[in-house]
């Protein structure tokens, strides 16, 4: 483990193996009470100037507690038994077992037009041993710096960007037994600590995420294990995703209900003409995917066909909705097939690899 940021990635990675706002208070001295959340603009969300540390253009939330209760979560957890030994070793080193201790992951950030660096904050919710993790960070992180910030220690260290090979400073804070905050800027981490280091940080983050989805994108308030939202208008859109130029915002949720995986994706377009074009393009892509599987009779192709058939596309004014309602066994059996196939190919490659003399 080279630095503290890898610590958060380790926690996320282990969980993948193991399982695969309140508004700002009024100024001091004012008699007014706290404002309720009227729009998903704070904290850490849309609507603010890019320079504001509270500005954000995307949100992603993975509820691990909910995920572990799904058939998909149980499947991934069972598959992860193959990696039990390294997971156990890491859990022992960190005094943190993601199979039991990781509650959720919430990420928010932006890459605005004209900006080269992505700005983001990662909130890791769980049960931690702050003193032990801080000791590990000090022991294993080169050039780790500490800045006293009230009751917190703001940590910073240098990382080498994999693409540009430039060194960049990252920031983080082991806020409490329930929260670790990572960020690409000191002000972002400070802002996140101000709003999320509360008695129940996971519940606070969930409330903000739900506000974004329910009020901003008109999702029905239902439980989910994975959700996200993007304000696309301010983001850099790659040339291969030209269709997104006419989409102002996008959101999605995935949940399990009565043994079925229920997914909902919403795209809000600039106008009704754009939404019609987007609907037609998505329908065309879906039809093409369904046609490409015709004639394939293997078990996995049948499973994929059933999944594609369950996807429905609808449009209402500027909003295009895609819903998926398929048996979770279609998903888990497809994953099981792919996993077995990958192992089989790996075995064949190992046999074909020439032995060293």
Cα–Cα dist 166/160, whole Å? 5
* Helices 328-352, 299-309: crossing angle, 10 deg rounding: 140
Enter the tokens of residue 95: 């005094």
DSSP states of 142-204 = TT-EEEEETTEEEEEEEEE-TTT--EEEEEEEE-SSSEEEEESSHHHHHHHHHHH-SSSHHHH
Cα–Cα dist 59/121, whole Å? 10
Q: How does pLDDT run across 288-334, given as a tens digit for each residue? A: 888 887 777 788 888 989 999 999 999 999 999 999 999 999 999 99
Q: How does pLDDT run across 47-97, given as a tens digit for each residue? A: 455 555 556 678 899 999 999 999 999 999 998 888 899 999 999 999 999
pTM of this structure:
0.79
- C-alpha 275: how far from chain center: 26
Enter the tokens of residue 301: 């192709």
Helix (H) or strand (E) holding 76: helix 71-79
Domain range annotation of the chain: 1-21+38-200
Q: What is the largest CA-CA distance in the chain?
A: 82
DSSP states of 208-245 = HHHHIIIIIS-------SEEEEE-GGGBPPPGGGGGGG
Report residue 231's pLDDT band, with 50, 70 and 90 as the boundaries. confident
């Amino acid at each position: 483990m080279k630095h503290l940021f890898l610590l958060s990635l380790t926690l996320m990675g282990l969980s993948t193996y193991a399982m695969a706002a309140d508004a700002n208070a009024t100024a001091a001295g004012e008699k007014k009470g706290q404002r309720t959340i009227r729009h998903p603009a704070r904290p850490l969300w849309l609507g603010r100037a890019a320079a504001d540390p509270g500005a954000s253009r995307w949100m992603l939330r993975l509820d691990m507690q909910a995920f572990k209760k799904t058939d998909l979560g149980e499947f991934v957890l069972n598959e992860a038994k193959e990696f039990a030994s390294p997971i156990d070793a890491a859990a022992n080193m960190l005094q943190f077992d993601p199979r039991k201790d990781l509650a959720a992951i919430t990420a928010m950030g932006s890459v605005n037009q004209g900006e080269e660096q992505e700005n983001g904050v990662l909130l890791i919710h769980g049960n931690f041993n702050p003193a032990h993790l801080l000791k590990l960070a000090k022991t294993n992180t080169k050039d780790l710096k500490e800045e006293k910030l009230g009751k917190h220690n703001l940590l910073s260290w240098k990382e080498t960007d994999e693409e540009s090979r430039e060194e960049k400073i990252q920031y983080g804070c082991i806020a409490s037994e329930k929260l670790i905050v990572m960020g690409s800027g000191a002000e972002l981490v400070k802002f996140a600590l101000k709003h999320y280091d509360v008695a129940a940080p996971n519940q606070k983050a969930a409330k903000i995420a739900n506000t974004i989805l329910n009020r901003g994108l008109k999702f029905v308030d239902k439980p989910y294990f994975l959700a996200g939202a993007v304000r696309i208008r301010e983001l850099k859109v790659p040339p291969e995703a030209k269709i997104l130029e006419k989409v102002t915002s996008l959101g999605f949720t995935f949940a399990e209900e009565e043994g079925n995986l229920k997914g909902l994706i919403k795209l809000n377009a600039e106008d009704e003409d754009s939404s019609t074009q987007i609907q037609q393009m998505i329908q065309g892509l879906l039809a093409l995917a369904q046609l490409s599987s015709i004639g394939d009779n293997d078990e996995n192709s049948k499973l994929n066909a059933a999944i594609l058939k369950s996807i429905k596309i609808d449009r209402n004014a500027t909003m295009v909705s895609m819903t998926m309602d398929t048996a979770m066994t279609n998903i888990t059996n497809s994953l099981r097939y792919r996993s077995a196939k990958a192992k089989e190919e790996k075995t064949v490659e190992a046999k074909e690899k020439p032995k060293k003399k």
